[in-house]
Structure 1
């Protein structure tokens, strides 16, 4: 196993064929941190130990096959955000449909070109990056825009509800989120970091600012009133945070809304 490099995405590859594992690792390790396992049972501990960005799995494996593995990932609220690429020797539309029905994000038939796999990986990761950027940069974009599965959407809904319910509490933190969501702090951190590329604390701040944008758009409250409503102790600090996050001051955002 290779040591995790913080500047690289971490990809977990699962295949009972060691030659394929070695081939894929050799092909991908220049760009990504690669973890390998010859069975689903051996792969599962990695999810507790590492920040897995993407999973590549063969379908035809003994004990637990790739379809079951994909279903396990996509139905687990702690893992459902992780994109899955399935590899298979099965040809034809029915086999592909079977894989996609289990929640696979991409389906590649063997034999495949390394370039094809590289492009699929890059597309999945860049798409997630674009959604994160859209969410964090646009004041009125919603947290649901980052969901990639129904399990993700349920998690993000619950997370958003808890934050909004405690929005005016300056002491809202990861401990409260962990308690309300019945998720351990390490798991919550990994989940939020993987979906939003933020810490829980950063997501709380962004949610406060987005809620403030909603209030500003309603044009019912002053900027000072809104800063208190969303949990900032100082209107000046609120203004600085809003400017840093969205590239404009609250007053400029308010003026834009009035002119539309």
Structure 2
């Protein structure tokens, strides 16, 4: 059985709980549902089926389960491009060092021994999500921060590098959008949309716009072109529109950014 417990407002992060015991699922879901929209699954196979239909920000999974255990679920998530950005917290009654090493080798982001306090799990979840939010905010607000700064795994890094190359190769095209990117990356539009949204909390079009502005910041730093030339080079037909977007994204106009560079 796969179910959503007490649907809440869309702004709450989606957390998936995976365990083959009803009482544990109900206990954890009851404790988390005030802060998160909680989904549940009884084993790794059901969890993967749910991920195909729902956007999930974090997974909490027991290790010992039938059909597909927590290790295999973690391995599947961290090796699948659509899901590898999702943090995974593994719960286990085993307290041996080898079991912890095994969990981390499969890519787990946190490892919690049973019994544990609900408050401890709450803090782990909140910290993992907050750290990702900080990294996303840094990328979006810092002109020269590279897109790979958002990667949390080698698979994410490779995906973001490929995505970045595809965007930059077609940056002068003002019509560049998610449809073009999906074709360039040989991915379906829904899959690409969900991946970009999951890793950056941006829509593909928002990410494309930020990539244009970041490239313009690089060109401004190089000092070889005038502002109106750079606007055209990154796909803007209007210098005014370019200037407004640059200021909205980075908190300063292109000319003010140039001035900060000169003072360094």
CA contact (8 A) 1:4 1:10 kept: no
Q: Report Cα offsets for 1:108-141 as digits up to 9, x if no partner.
A: 0000110110000000000000000000001010
Corresponding residue number in structure 2 for 1:9: 13
Stretches of structure 1 lacking an aligned partner (at least 5 in a row): none
Deviation at 1:94? Answer: 1.6
Distance 1:221 1:189, change over 3 A: same
Counterpart-to-counterpart distance in 1, 2:41 and 2:170: 42
CA contact (8 A) 2:84 2:155 kept: yes
Which deviates further from its counterpart, 110-119 or 90-99? 90-99
Counterpart-to-counterpart distance in 2, 1:113 and 1:18: 18
- Work out whether 1:91 is the aligned partner of 2:95: yes
CA RMSD for the aligned pairs? 0.9
Aligned residue pairs, count: 260
Name the SS of the counterpart of 1:44 in structure 2.
helix
Stretches of structure 2 lacking an aligned partner (at least 5 in a row): none
Deviation at 1:53? Answer: 0.5
Name the SS of the counterpart of 1:139 in structure 2.
coil
TM-score, normalization: structure 1?
A: 0.98
CA contact (8 A) 1:217 1:254 kept: yes
Corresponding residue number in structure 1 for 2:23: 19
Counterpart-to-counterpart distance in 1, 2:61 and 2:14: 14
TM-score, normalization: structure 2?
A: 0.97
Deviation at 1:5? Answer: 3.0
Q: Report Cα offsets for 1:45-65 as digits up to 9, x if no partner.
A: 211221100001101111211
- Work out whether 1:230 is the aligned partner of 2:234: yes
Counterpart-to-counterpart distance in 2, 1:15 and 1:108: 14
Which among 73, 76, 85 is matched to residue 72 of structure 1? 76
Which among 31, 35, 40 is matched to residue 35 of structure 2? 31
Corresponding residue number in structure 2 for 1:125: 129
Counterpart-to-counterpart distance in 1, 2:8 and 2:232: 42
Q: Report Cα offsets for 1:61-90 as digits up to 9, x if no partner.
A: 112110010000000001000000000000
Which among 52, 55, 66 is matched to residue 51 of structure 1? 55
